[in-house]
Chains A and B, each alone.
Chain A
Amino acid sequence: MASVSVCQYHSGGFSFENCKRNALLEADINKLGFSSPAARKTGTTICGVVYKDGVVLGADTRATEGMVVADKNCSKIHYISPNIYCCGAGTAADTEMTTQIISSNLELHSLSTGRLPRVTTANRMLKQMLFRYQGYIGAALVLGGVDCNGPHLYSIYPHGSTDKLPYVTMGSGSLAAMAVFEDRYRPNMEEEEAKRLVRDAIAAGIFNDLGSGSNIDLCVITKGNVDYLRPHDMEHHLIHTCLNFAHGTTGVLTKAVTPLNLEVVEESVQTMDTS
């Protein structure tokens, strides 16, 4: 069963080599009073739907580090192959690297078979890798694409279980998005209706989940064509209306003005290197 792949698989499961080192580092850092860096997570809403001609994948664009937004416009829809894309929720590094590894292996596999890769192949590769790491790779994925057997959509959990369904949602905002899907999904929708459904599902996640926000990215995959719409929609009107309050909205009780007289001590000019 010789197969060409980028990463050499060890025989025998998870490699615990670095765990002892990490534990020692953690203990040393804590002794000095610092805390080790928190993994950046994509508290997220991702979803996908199968429609008449293909699949529509959707994702929000917020990446959080604890309770702070680390990236306001990160891209959660990852390329796997020309006809297959994958949305990722969970630990940002894990989803990024996992999808890149499988994308690389799938390209080699595709060159070896001489065929366009199938979604079920990508699903197999992802689930076998995640199972091997017993859930320690925190990647929850929505995998979608169109191949010779039609459109396919899978949800893949960090422990390596997968479900093949016509509509799926993942991430912290998945419940809000699933509510929209359960209400309005129909089999064999038209493209515009499917895009509107996915957009509304992600919007539900953005508005009702703290871990999701910013813009909505969409990816429409059909036979022979992919529309990567980034950003498809920017959900910012809610924020802007809140920030402009008219004078006098809040009553003023007292007012004290202290003029600070500053004098210029030193003035220097540094030109920026814009070459």
Chain B
Amino acid sequence: MASSGFQADVKALQKHLAARHLIYQHQHNKQMSCPAMAQLLSNTLYYKRFFPYYSFNVLGGLDNEGKGCVFTYDAVGSYEKVGYSSQGSGSTLIMPFLDNQLKSPSPLLLPAQDAVTPLAEAEAIDLVKTVFASASERDIYTGDKLEIVVINADGIRREYMDLRKD
């Protein structure tokens, strides 16, 4: 889960979800799938509807079949499964670029069109680095350092990159 906003609420939310994940693992003897965690996050956010978590989240992971999924949230818990998303102060800069590079057809279209972007992992990481480098140029709040988390069947891998420090 990647979150932007008020850091204390972000921390509290992450701790809350980690605890619920642990409980789930104890009760069901397996990892939570991403769609399950997605609904849990939505409910967690909505339970603070009248005193919200100031946290704008994007959730990424694998579903029960091992396919990747991304969920995007607003501060009070409305969520949507998407092909890509961005949140935070630089999102208005990043989203149009992602729309251009990754335009995946809307899941609402009928007859349905396949929504998987045909990108190799290396290309995808390159895209993320480009996107954040550009966002750092034009958004004062974006910069310093970038952490990329790659999740696939082999596990989780983290990569770091330095961004503009001004």
Instruction: Say whether A associates with B.
Output: no
Chain A residues within 8 Å of B, Cβ to Cβ: none
